[in-house]
Amino acid sequence: MPASIDELLSLARTIAGEAGELVHARREAGVQIAATKTAPEDIVTAADRESEDLIRGRIADARPGDGFCGEESDATASSTGLTWVVDPIDGTVNYLYDIPAYAVSVAVVEGDPDPATWRALAAAVVNPTNGELYSASAGGGAYLGGRRLRVATGKQLSLALVGTGFSYDSRRRGLQAEAVSRLIPRVRDIRRIGSAALDLCAVAAGRLDAYYEKGLKPWDHAGGALVAAEAGATVAGLHGAPAGRALTIAAEPGLFAQLEPVLDELGVIDR
Ligand code: IPD
Ligand code: CA
Ligand code: CA
């Protein structure tokens, strides 16, 4: 069934909001680790699964035939050309510790669900702890609630507040920390907020000047990357590569041009 981008955006917002309420209610009731994944530090809670089930069900009801690619369940192929890329809780460790920086991220992309080739159409990222809802659509701009977001230009790298994240793999985390130790004298400061989706939205909202991370999965960045890009940020990897697992950098174009060669020099892509 063909849908307009506005309809997809509206659906993404509604579903992310509903899942956010569920996740928040479960947090109030108390959270326990349900299982570990790639490492003991890489956890899943019952609420992650419940949130993904809810989102998956709502999408299947509203858009039968669309594909689904979420963190906590098997992918479903698309028969419409559209696929929903979903992180049911981004920032699960924050969620476990009740640190109010986690999100539900719901994005819909056209083409194969591969960040190298997809075209993101619409996205919603909600932080259920404060009700902030970021959303964006291709060509339609980025919003925080009803406020249009535009990245500020003219920032010098030495005065940039830069967000990043670390791998669940302890060896890689150590290498990433070494790179950060060499970056931090060259920027204003570093933040490790703990949710890639919120980091990308923070670039859109001017709460971070830049963000970079190696190792992101499609659901970590699909929604936030569209929000950042629609706010005017460049979101990409090194040397014109698309954003993805190798590296995701987000910053307004002038700052991106200053940060990219520094990250290249620090060898972040090999870490
Ligand atoms: C993680 C968060 C974190 C980032 C990791 C992600 P999860 O997602 O976005 O900030 O540094 O790379 O895996 O596991 O909380 O969904
Ligand atoms: Ca995630
Ligand atoms: Ca997650």
Tens digits of residue pLDDT in 102-137: 999 999 999 999 999 999 999 999 999 999 999 999
Q: What's the pLDDT score for residue 271?
A: 59
CB of 78 sitting under 6 A from ligand 1: no
Three-state SS for 191?
Answer: strand
pLDDT tens, residue by residue, 64-112? 999 999 999 999 999 999 999 999 999 999 999 999 999 999 999 999 9
- Full-model pTM: 0.97
Atom of ligand 1 nearest to the CA of 93: 15
Three-state SS for 26?
Answer: helix
Least confident of 34-48, 143-157, 202-216, 223-237: 34-48
Q: In this structure, are residues 144 and 207 in contact, taking their beta carbons and an 8 Å threshold?
A: no
CATH assignment of 157-270, among 3.40.190.80, 3.40.190.170, 3.10.20.30, 3.40.190.10: 3.40.190.80
Identify which of 27, 89, 90 to mutate to test ligand 1's pocket (most ligand atoms within 8 A of the CB). Answer: 90
For the chain, the maximum distance between any two Cα atoms, rounded to a whole number of angstroms, is 52
CB of 244 sitting under 6 A from ligand 1: no
**From the CA of 88, which ligand is nearest?**
3
- What separation in Å is there between the alpha carbon of 266 and the centre of ligand 1? 22
Report domain extents, the chain.
Answer: 5-149, 157-270
Band of pLDDT at residue 169, cut at 50, 70 and 90: very high
Nearest to 104 by CA among 85, 83, 127: 127
Atom of ligand 1 nearest to the CA of 43: 14
User: Bigger pLDDT: 220 or 36?
Assistant: 220
CA distance 17 to 22: 9
- What separation in Å is there between the alpha carbon of 104 and the centre of ligand 1? 12
Q: What's the pLDDT score for residue 44?
A: 86
CB of 165 sitting under 6 A from ligand 1: yes
CA distance 8 to 13: 9
CA distance 125 to 219: 11
Please give the structure tokens belonging to residue 92.
């699960």
pLDDT tens, residue by residue, 230-269? 999 999 999 999 999 999 999 999 999 999 999 999 988 8
Site of tokens 């890009």? 229
| Mean pLDDT of the 215-226 span | 98
CA distance 120 to 227: 10
Q: What's the pLDDT score for residue 1?
A: 54
Q: For CA atoms 82, 132, 89, 160, give the dihedral sign.
A: positive
Residue 176 reports pLDDT greater than 90: yes
Q: For domain 5-149, is the CATH number 1.10.1060.10? A: no
Three-state SS for 263?
Answer: helix
Atom of ligand 1 nearest to the CA of 217: 13
Q: Cβ contacts of residue 30 below 8 Å, gap of 6+?
A: none
The overall average pLDDT reported for the chain is: 95
Q: What's the pLDDT score for residue 92?
A: 95
Ligand 3 ion: nearby residues, β-carbon < 5 Å: 71, 87, 89
- What separation in Å is there between the alpha carbon of 187 and the centre of ligand 1? 23
**From the CA of 94, which ligand is nearest?**
1
How far from 195 is each of 5, 92, 127, 184, CA to CA, in Å? 26, 8, 10, 20
